[in-house]
Amino acid sequence: MTATPLRPSAPARTTVATGWYSPADCSLDDFRAVVEAGLAETSLDDYPYADALEQGVLVYGARLREHTTTPEGRRDVQAELARALADGPGIVVVKKAFDTGVVDRATDVFRAMIEEQEAAGAVVGDHFAKPGANDRIWGALDKFAVRDPGAFAAYYANDVLALVSEAWLGRGYQVTSQVNVVNPGGQAQTAHRDYHLGFMDQDQAAGFPAQVHVLSPVLTLQGAVAHVDMPVETGPTLYLPHSHKYPAGYIAFHQPEFTAHFLEHSVQLPLAKGDAAFFNPALFHGAGSNASTDVRRMANLLQVSSGFGRAMEVVDRSAMVAALFETLRGLKAAGADERSLRNVVAASAEGYAFPTNLDRDQPIGGLAPQTQAELVWQALSQGWERAALVEALDAAGERRSSAV
């Protein structure tokens, strides 16, 4: 039997990058060129609804409010905001986005939660700081709603949040929130990108093809609401405008030369209480050092997700893997090859660590907690009994559920 010769495949007809990125693809010169070209090209004249361009960041406020009173005006403003986040600097600041009285009311609720956490002796870990250096409220959205529905409704009635979320993600977006307090003396975060690919180490991110690197930033929107006045010495977030446009950035931000470049060229805008910043999750950024002696810098970090990050059908994956485990053990004992076993695990177990409860399910030795698929693989390769796996699955399910 003769093999059929392979036909050359048709040339790709796509405008989206494909293929794979590796650390060797990252070039600081290319990165610098992308950022500098962006800064040179950006003009306030191209953003008629913005009030100012400060340090390369578009600042909105009065003009935005003036033009969002009609459905047509709202659409136009949203189109401009999306353009600013995609083709422009990648970050917008909205002055006076939240009423300060409403912010203060939420701040009181958050402070009470932090005091309770401390009183309970909980040491809340953080991706970037030593436990205890900062105050964190993970999963602050549902905790806030359950604790003080009135304050929650006043806060999330906010239309700037809805305006920008819908501009970037469309309808059906989902809000989550984490409160971050950087205390005096708190250290700066390392430059990074955000969820999804920004929550992976270099090897994990390199496991996703280039078109997914294009997709990741349109699946979420990052926001930060200032809960106190944040002059520069308190360390408001550092940003590098236009850095979201560098294609291999999810790999590059792990490299020291990119981190050093960020520290030299990033900008830092002071915020007043109630101001909000929204940015493309692919933008290089990091919280600044708090050099003040007395300001506990509180921000509500909003992560808004696209409604599209879901499967069509519900699947009870814990039940599936518990049912499959004896079969997998039998296949392994009979000498099945690793790839076929891994394929069965990939088709049955949950392969993603999120969403989770970051109070209880904190990452160990990385940015993401263990996935169910990793747990099943661990059980299989270490020869666990089925009962031990079921127990671990139950414990993992418990860790992932919300605690409110």
Which among 20-28, 178-186, 192-200, 239-247 is the span making contact with Fe ion, rule CB under 5 A?
A: 192-200
Q: What are the phi and psi torsion angles at 135 (to 5°)?
A: -105, 135
Rg (C-alpha) for the chain, rounded Å, is: 23
- Least separation in angstroms between CB 302 and Fe ion: 12
Q: Mapping DSSP to helix (H, G, I), strand (E, B) and coil, where does residue 308 land?
A: coil
Which among 25-33, 37-45, 189-197, 211-219 is the span making contact with Fe ion, rule CB under 5 A?
A: 189-197
Toward Fe ion, which CB reaches closer, 127 or 317? 127
Toward Fe ion, which CB reaches closer, 166 or 194? 194
Which positions ≥6 away from 261 have C-beta within 8 Å? 28, 31, 32
- Give the binding-site size for Fe ion (rule: CB under 5 A): 1
- Least separation in angstroms between CB 256 and Fe ion: 18
Toward Fe ion, which CB reaches closer, 117 or 303? 303
Site for Fe ion in 329-348 (CB under 5 A): none
Which residue intervals of 304-385 are DSSP H helices? 317-333, 338-348, 372-381
Which among 12-20, 71-79, 103-111, 188-196 is the span making contact with Fe ion, rule CB under 5 A?
A: 188-196
Instruction: Map residues 238-277 to x or -, x wherever contact with Fe ion holds by CB under 5 A.
Output: ----------------------------------------
Residue nearest Fe ion, Cβ-based = 194
Which among 65-73, 186-194, 242-250, 316-324 is the span making contact with Fe ion, rule CB under 5 A?
A: 186-194
- Least separation in angstroms between CB 266 and Fe ion: 13
Toward Fe ion, which CB reaches closer, 100 or 190? 190
DSSP bridge pairs for 137: 179
Q: Does 194 bind Fe ion (CB under 5 A)?
A: yes
- Least separation in angstroms between CB 309 and Fe ion: 18
Q: Mapping DSSP to helix (H, G, I), strand (E, B) and coil, where does residue 15 land?
A: coil
What separation in angstroms does the CA of 272 have from each of 75, 133, 183? 27, 23, 17
Q: What angle do CA 245, 288, 253 make, to 5 degrees?
A: 35
- Least separation in angstroms between CB 280 and Fe ion: 11
- Least separation in angstroms between CB 194 and Fe ion: 4
Toward Fe ion, which CB reaches closer, 280 or 318? 280
- Least separation in angstroms between CB 9 and Fe ion: 39
Toward Fe ion, which CB reaches closer, 194 or 275? 194
Helix (H) or strand (E) holding 140: helix 140-147
Taking residue 372's Cβ as centre, other Cβ atoms within 10 Å add up to 23
- On the question of a cis peptide bond just before residue 355, with omega within 30 degrees of 0, the verdict is yes
Taking residue 392's Cβ as centre, other Cβ atoms within 10 Å add up to 17
| Burial class of residue 276 in the structure, from the number of CB atoms within 10 Å of its CB (0-12 exposed, 13-18 middle, 19+ buried) | buried
Which among 56-64, 94-102, 191-199, 341-349 is the span making contact with Fe ion, rule CB under 5 A?
A: 191-199
CA 216/CA 219 separation, integer angstroms: 5
Toward Fe ion, which CB reaches closer, 50 or 287? 287
Toward Fe ion, which CB reaches closer, 77 or 205? 205
Q: Does 126 bind Fe ion (CB under 5 A)?
A: no
- Least separation in angstroms between CB 192 and Fe ion: 6
| Among the listed residues 139, 136, 133, 137, the one whose alpha carbon sits nearest the alpha carbon of residue 188 | 133
Token readout for 224 is 């930060």
CA 252/CA 277 separation, integer angstroms: 24
Toward Fe ion, which CB reaches closer, 53 or 238? 238
Toward Fe ion, which CB reaches closer, 148 or 194? 194
Which among 167-175, 187-195, 246-254, 326-334 is the span making contact with Fe ion, rule CB under 5 A?
A: 187-195
Which positions ≥6 away from 281 have C-beta within 8 Å? 193, 194, 195, 198, 216, 217, 220, 221, 222, 244
| Positions that interact with Fe ion (CB under 5 A) | 194
